[in-house]
Amino acid sequence: MTTFIDYLIGGVSNGAVIALMALALVLIWRATRVVNFAQVGQAMFTTFIALSVQTLTGSWIFALLVALVAGAILGVIVQFLVLRPMRRADTSGAIIATFGVLIALQAGVGMIWGGDARAYPQPFDNSGIVVFGRIWPISVYDLVVIAVTILLVVALSLLFTRTSIGLAMRASAFNPEV
C-alpha cells in the first residue's frame, strides 16, 4: 500500500506540471481557436534560457523572471509574425505554422545549447519529507508545484468568472467580432 501512495504522490506532482501546460494550451486555443503546438517549443526554449541565466548568476528567482519575460516576448513574436497574418486563413494552415515554429525552436535550441538533455536544478530540497517517522517521497519541490498549480487554476477560474475583464475575454473568445 505504501508503494501505491508513493507513486500516487509523485504522479500528482508530475501531473500538476502537465496540467499547467494543458491549461496554457486551452487558454490559447479558446482565445484563438488554433491549437498552438509552438507553445511546447516556447516552454522548452524559455527553460533553456532560464537554465543559462541560473548557471551564470546562481539565482533561480532571477532566472525565473528572465524566462517569464522571454516567454512573453516570444509569445508576442509568434502571435504577430505567425498567427495574426494567418487570421483569415484556414485553421489548418495556422496549426501547421505552429508546427513550423515548434520545429524552428527545437532547431534553435539544438544549435545554441546542443542536443544533449539537461536536468534543471530544482530550487527546493528534493529529498523526501518526514511525517510520523516515515520518509515520504514527496519533496518541498513537489509541494510547491502542486500548490502553484492549484493557485493558478483557482486564480484563472476566478478571473474568467468573477471579473469584468475575464468575462470580456471569454466573450471575445466565444465571438471575436464582439
54-82 pLDDT, tens digit per residue, is 999 999 999 999 999 999 999 999 999 99
Q: Where are the beta strands (DSSP E) in the chain?
A: 129-131, 134-136
Q: Which domain holds residue 96?
A: 33-121
The CA distance from 117 to 79, in Å, is 28
Within a domain: 88: yes
Within a domain: 140: no
Number of domains in the chain: 1
- Decide: residue 97, CB within 10 A, 0-12 exposed, 13-18 middle, 19+ buried: buried
Within a domain: 174: no
107-162 pLDDT, tens digit per residue, is 999 999 998 888 888 887 777 777 788 777 778 888 888 999 999 999 999 998 89
CA angle, residues 159, 74, 153, in degrees to nearest 5? 25
Within a domain: 83: yes
